[in-house]
Amino acid sequence: MGSNDTVVDLGCGDGKLLLALAPYIRRGIGIDVSAPAIEYAQRNLADSGAENAEFIECDFRELALPVGSINAAVSLAALHHVSDDEKLAVLRSVAEALVAGGLFQLEDDTFNFAPDAFETMAPAMYRQFEERFGSKAWAFMRDELAGEDFEFTPYLESLLSMIRAAGLDVISVSELGLNGAVIRARKPSV
């Protein structure tokens, strides 16, 4: 990313990722469906003094960015909350909004094993989740969300297929144990 770039953060939460990028880019746009998250991001923006970032309360499934209007898009732990059809639609919107050569980085929940292996891999995945986030995090997932957070979690190969179907070239994949990945993709140059 460079000083003339526009970057969009899909599911920006508190805005800290975008604000960390702000000194290095021309413009940053944070999108989140949660009004409290956007309020928190606005407070963080005011505290940071950055003048090149904005935060918008919006469902990223409804976001319509102009064609070729952004240089990069990021999404951290947000895309797994929507269905596969909605994921593909969002990925297509991102690809359309990116300039040729533009980057997309996604860090999100994925199942990093074959679908038919879920039953045998689930105990190890849960142990890794607890090791990564702590026993209280797993208890919250189990007791409060009742597993709902995994409802739309894609299998890694399926997500990579969606990214490619959206018109992006996958340039790197880093698996985060059995449940998570960082994926970098690029819009092909013309």
Question: DSSP per residue over 84-142, as a string?
Answer: HHHHHHHHHHHHHHEEEEEEEEEEEEEE-S-GGGHHHHHHHHHHHHHHHH-HHHHHIII
pLDDT at 185 over 70: yes
* pLDDT at residue number 36: 95
pLDDT at 141 over 60: yes
Average pLDDT estimate for 90-97 = 97
Asked if residue 138 is part of any domain, the answer here is no
Asked if residue 118 is part of any domain, the answer here is no
Asked if residue 143 is part of any domain, the answer here is no
Q: How many separate domains does the chain show?
A: 1
Residue-wise pLDDT tens digits, 122-135? 888 878 878 877 87
* pLDDT at residue number 2: 74
Average pLDDT estimate for 67-77 = 95
* pLDDT at residue number 150: 60
Asked if residue 128 is part of any domain, the answer here is no
Distance CA 48, CA 37 (A): 16
Instruction: Give the residue among 82, 86, 90, 22 at the shortest CA–CA distance from 52.
Output: 22
pLDDT at 160 over 90: yes
Asked if residue 122 is part of any domain, the answer here is no
Asked if residue 33 is part of any domain, the answer here is yes
Asked if residue 41 is part of any domain, the answer here is yes
Torsion sign, CA atoms 127, 153, 17, 172: positive
- pLDDT confidence bin for 26, thresholds 50/70/90: very high
pLDDT at 161 over 90: yes
Q: Is 61 in contact with 86 (CB distance < 8 Å)?
A: yes
Average pLDDT estimate for 9-37 = 95
* pLDDT at residue number 79: 93
Average pLDDT estimate for 73-94 = 94
* pLDDT at residue number 40: 95
- pLDDT confidence bin for 64, thresholds 50/70/90: confident
Asked if residue 54 is part of any domain, the answer here is yes
Average pLDDT estimate for 29-53 = 95
For the chain, the average pLDDT equals 90
pLDDT at 153 over 90: no
Q: What is the CATH number of the domain that holds 159?
A: 3.40.50.150
* pLDDT at residue number 148: 54
pLDDT at 136 over 80: no
Domain that residue 67 falls in: 6-111+151-186
Average pLDDT estimate for 172-176 = 96
